[in-house]
């Protein structure tokens, strides 16, 4: 395939033509770092005409993303949401009077390309990097840390990422231990006593989540009666479904971190095999294609996710409306809200520190306490993983509905 590099630069340029003289008033008019998206977007439309144009060197944010391969699924909406935040902030006068510049470069989930692109973004003067959700994020972290540039885990939810990446890496969203604990807590609350887990050692995500679930579920008095495995992407789960159907006595529930397109196949085959027990799962399933499996297959399925659905959560709904107003279409997925929140968190840190130096941002990341579109993000400076609660989603026939937002779990499993 042809090499494809797309670079997105902040749209400050056309505004700079209209106003020559300008102060650093932009910083003072913007709302505080903890501002909700509602106030941020409100102020942006109001201040765009009054606060002046940011001048000075742009504050460069790099995103060595996978825009064209497996993880485009996540990195494309991350880019979309981040770009929206950057646009809003620049229209509101930038930060410290300086515009933000988001540089997104496609590395196609190719290890060599990813390292090259990341190093280029660092050499180009990026003060902060959004990590890819793809396989190459540990290497990106090591490059960033060698240059003392802060980097996030992107949409990566594995709790071990920050350690693999280095001490400059932070996770600004919920992680898989929180998912495992929340789902286990939900299961216990439903009165489920026995569970069957279905994982796969192929990815850390599918390998570890059943363990996290099991740790909290058994600590709370539940019992995991069987650990089954599946092959990701095999397109047929009839053999393991037959095995599950023959577990006697039948467990109260099944937990699996399976995700589309496997979930649809598995659920259909499971229900066709006459297995009717509840299935609990995790955030990979927040995907419109899940509904295509049909009500018979997925009705009643419950799973955890970073965010709730646009329909069910007013903040997300407003984010979608603002996005559509600005770009004329919906973001590729709800992950865009995470990209938006990440830039807003960064903006808050720079403002509070009154500095866009990487060292100041690294300091600021330790104290993040941000109420964003996707919920409250509080950084644990010890683990460098945010303490962020997850949402629970339940399928009502083929409709995605939000269950009550659970509290952040009291006890987390060991990553």
Partner 1 sequence: MTQFLQQLINGLSLGSIFAVLALGLAMVYGTLGILNFAYGELIAITGYTMYFATQAGLSFWLSALIGAVAAAVASILMQLLVFRPLQGTGFVTLLFASFALSQVLQGIFRQAISPRAKGIPAPEVLSNVFEFGGLRISVLNVVTFVVAMVSLGLFALFMRTSRSGLQMRAAALDLTTTRLQGVSAGRVILLAFALSGILAGIAGVLWISRTGTVTPTTGATPILVAFVAVVLGGLGSTVGAVVGGFVFGILEVFLEAYLPSGVVPFQFAFALIAVAVVLFARPEGLFGKAVEVKV
Binding site for partner 1 (CB under 8 A): 1, 68-70, 72-73, 76, 200-202, 226-236, 238-240, 242-243, 245-246, 260-261, 264-265, 268, 271-274, 287-294, 296-297, 332-333
- Closer CB to partner 1, 87 or 262, in the complex: 262
- Closer CB to partner 1, 52 or 77, in the complex: 77
- Closer CB to partner 1, 113 or 287, in the complex: 287
Q: Tell the smallest beta-carbon distance from residue 130 to partner 1 (Å).
A: 18
Among residues 365, 401, 371, the alpha carbon closest in space to that of 389 is found at 371
CA 131/CA 252 separation, integer angstroms: 39
Residue 210 has φ and ψ, to the nearest 5°, of -60, -35
Six-digit token string for 191: 């009165």
Q: Tell the smallest beta-carbon distance from residue 133 to partner 1 (Å).
A: 12
Q: Tell the smallest beta-carbon distance from residue 13 to partner 1 (Å).
A: 27
Q: Tell the smallest beta-carbon distance from residue 135 to partner 1 (Å).
A: 15
Strand 399-402 vs strand 391-396: parallel, antiparallel, or unpaired? antiparallel
Q: Tell the smallest beta-carbon distance from residue 246 to partner 1 (Å).
A: 5
| Chain centroid to CA 229 | 26
- Closer CB to partner 1, 43 or 133, in the complex: 133
- Closer CB to partner 1, 170 or 400, in the complex: 400
> Is residue 379 a contact partner of residue 362, using CB atoms and an 8 Å limit?
no
CA 21/CA 120 separation, integer angstroms: 33
CA 50/CA 116 separation, integer angstroms: 41
Helix (H/G/I), strand (E/B), else coil: 326:
helix
- Closer CB to partner 1, 119 or 229, in the complex: 229
Is the Cα dihedral 26, 386, 341, 90 positive or negative? positive
Residue 36 has φ and ψ, to the nearest 5°, of -75, 165
Q: Tell the smallest beta-carbon distance from residue 273 to partner 1 (Å).
A: 6
């Amino acid at each position: 395939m042809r090499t494809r590099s797309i670079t997105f630069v902040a749209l400050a340029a056309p505004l700079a033509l209209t106003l020559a003289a300008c102060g650093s008033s932009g910083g003072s008019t913007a709302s505080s770092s903890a501002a909700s998206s509602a106030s941020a977007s409100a102020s942006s439309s109001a201040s765009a005409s009054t606060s002046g144009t940011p001048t000075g060197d742009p504050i460069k944010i790099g995103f060595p993303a996978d825009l064209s391969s497996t993880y485009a699924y996540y990195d494309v909406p991350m880019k979309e949401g981040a770009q929206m935040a950057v646009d809003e902030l620049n229209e509101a006068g930038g930060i410290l009077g300086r515009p933000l510049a988001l540089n997104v470069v496609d590395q196609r989930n190719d290890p060599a390309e990813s390292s090259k692109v990341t190093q280029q973004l660092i050499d180009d003067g990026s003060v902060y990097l959004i990590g890819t959700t793809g396989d190459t994020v540990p290497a990106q972290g090591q490059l960033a840390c060698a240059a003392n540039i802060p980097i996030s885990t992107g949409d990566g939810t594995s709790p071990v990422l920050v350690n693999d990446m280095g001490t400059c890496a932070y996770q600004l969203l919920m992680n898989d231990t929180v998912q495992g604990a929340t789902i286990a807590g939900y299961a216990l609350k439903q009165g489920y006593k026995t569970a069957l887990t279905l994982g796969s050692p192929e990815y850390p995500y599918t390998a570890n989540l059943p363990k996290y679930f099991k740790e909290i579920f058994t600590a709370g008095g539940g019992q995991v009666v069987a650990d089954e495995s599946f092959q990701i992407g095999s397109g047929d789960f009839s053999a393991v479904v037959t095995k599950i159907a023959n577990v006697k006595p039948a467990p109260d529930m099944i937990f699996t971190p399976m995700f589309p397109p496997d979930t649809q196949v598995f659920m259909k085959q499971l229900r066709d095999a006459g297995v009717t027990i509840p299935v609990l799962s995790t955030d990979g399933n927040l995907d419109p294609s899940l509904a295509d499996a049909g009500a018979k297959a997925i009705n009643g399925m419950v799973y955890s996710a970073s965010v709730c659905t646009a329909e069910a959560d007013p903040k997300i709904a407003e984010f979608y409306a603002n996005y559509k107003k600005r770009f004329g279409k919906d973001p590729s997925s709800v992950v865009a809200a995470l990209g938006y929140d990440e830039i807003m968190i960064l903006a808050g840190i720079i403002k509070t520190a009154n500095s866009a130096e990487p060292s100041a941002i690294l300091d600021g990341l330790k104290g993040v306490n941000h109420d964003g579109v996707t919920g409250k993000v509080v950084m644990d400076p010890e683990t460098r993983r945010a303490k962020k609660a997850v949402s629970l989603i339940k399928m009502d026939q083929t409709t995605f509905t939000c269950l009550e937002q659970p509290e952040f779990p009291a006890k987390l499993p060991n990553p």
